Structure 1
Amino acid sequence: MELKDVYLWLKSIRGISNKTIQKIENEVGNIKKLFDFSDKEIYHLKNINLNIKQNIVKYKSHSYLDNIKEKLHKENINYICIHDEKYPNNLKNIYDAPSILYYKGNVNIINNGLNLAMVGSRKPTRYGISCAKTISNQLSEMGINIVSGLAIGIDSYSHVGCLNGVGKTIAVLGSSVHNPLPKQNIYLSNEILENDGVLISEYGVDSYVIPSNFSNRNRIISGISEGVIVVEAAKKSGALITVEFALDQGKNVFAIPGNINSDMSKGCHKIIKEGAKLVENIEDIIDEYNINSIKDKNIGKNYANISLNEDCIKIINLIKHKGCLQIDEICDYIGMEIKYVNTILNELELYDLVIETNNKTYSLNI
């Protein structure tokens, strides 16, 4: 019997956690021996709940294990245990490391490149969407893998941005990999697999999907990554749970600033005040890693390639100089009527050069 099969067997038994497996392993040494223990020897295990011992005895059979493996085979799901060579190196030493991981796709990419996590709001603004897609794409073009949770919002746009680059994207699920949630992102999960990415989860095919799964998976998102980038988050956003895990694991934390009047910026501004590195461009991120400088690389929009009139250029330069501006402020600075300014802003939005963040406030699309 392979070592990973013992972990598969134990983790499928109700009530057995990663910590329980570690306790058993600490006591018996070679955990593969457990499958050959007598019922009496199992009941003599120390510091293990009686109900768990009873379940181990009840499900200690090759037929039970073979049934689990058959279910995984039918769904084309692979699995690795914490001692496998393919198991993510960065994940092995975190607190409560998953004893076993289920996956679909190319799991080798996790150990063969730089992984950066991107997380944020499930209800992002247009500004947040633009940041997530642009920054993930630029990082991907440098061969960096993007890790996220396949959730609606910033997670999804981070995966999408990466798919449009050359890097690979890694989706960490709070459900089984044969049942990617939310259902709206099944197409995206398939696209990740078609582009040599990977879906991973610590939950098997018979696991219940409960709310705590999605907060628990955040420790894996940060655990397999070298750093976490928060794109947009409210003050009590779930994305900040990932930040807490990242700090506990000694990972870099980055945050993209936003409009001071937007609730979706409060979380990012909070962690910037607490020490997260403020990100204006990807140079701020890659400076923390051993990556060749891209200062000479043309990042962002190339306005010279688009035919714009003088008034359009004036407004672009104004926003670039002043940052986010409301339409009334633009009118005052430029000295134009609001009707004309509104027409220009609509044109610039069509060119994807500016975005409306909220309440007729505009910023450059990075």
Structure 2
Amino acid sequence: MHDVVRDVAKSIASRFHRTYSVKRYSEVKQWPMIDQLQKFHQIILPWSYINELPEKLECPELRLLLLHNIGDNLKVSDEFFSGMREVRVLDLYGMMLTPSPPPSLSFLTNLQTLTLGGCELEDISIVLELKSLEILSLERSDIIQLPEEIGQLTNLRMLNLTNCSRLRFIPANLISSLTCLEELYMGNCFIQWDVKRSKDQSNNASLEELGNLSHLTTLDIMIQDSSVWPMDLQVFAKLERYNIFIGDVWKWSLEWAGGASESSRTLKLAESKSTSIHSDYGFNLLLNSAEDLCVAQLQRARGVLYELNMEGFPQLKHLCIEDSSELECIVNSIVPSQKFSQVEALTLDIRKQQ
């Protein structure tokens, strides 16, 4: 369905904008002549084998450039972007942008969307120059840390770091600076979060910074250590869609790629003896809105639903319980059954200790 919608949209757009495009999995051996390039409003090469890039793409009327390369990563010359200063959307995949993206990227001052998926990245502080940027996606890139400069992109509405599995470090106060952020995707990212209330504070970001994001509606995040859980965050009440995994036992589906493609509200929890996450106000806000709930390694909950949330689960549709040998019952006589009237599916995988 997504491919059909994309093709229809491309067809409609091409009626009004001069477009150069190829079919998926095409081999691009040669670029159009310079006089043709200068007239294009859009260049779309989706999932193509691109042999090489020109030194400079001279396209003064270009508004959208999409280059998805599935061959060897392509080197981009320093002047490549200098002839397309009106571009609004730049979507690159499979490019070599090390040690930093080309200096000519800073000329794209009208750029609103920048996607550098599956690219080789190191220092991307040049994005500071892109003041109009609203969407930044580094999905599946090999970036290790985010530069402080990203915190100055105060118009940013969406940040996608999905499947940046090497990413470990985000500077403190970067996330809280992005006050216009509406969507934050960090699935399959293993960030070393700081604990703001701890005496041994580092320069790493803390999850408490999410509290500054008053416009946030969508959140994908993995929190391997539940002891860094932020306390009493009311921002969770505004989330319309989320995938929140707490604990180190969960695996992120590589098919989830951000962009709000999943409509559900999914919460997964592996309990830790060192925290009292059950009593946290923000966590209970998530329990009240969760449609999909999966819990594992419950060590104190004899009656899992009642002990997790005495208020009930008004939105819950799917419940999964794994690896909880102390569990005695799921719902008991204390909990009115109508509090789980939306539940459609129950999955149990309870392994007794040997």
The normalised TM-score by structure 2 is: 0.27
Higher strand share: 2
Query: Max radius of gyration: which structure?
Result: 1
The normalised TM-score by structure 1 is: 0.26
Higher relative contact order (CA 8 A, sep 6+): 1
Higher helix share: 1
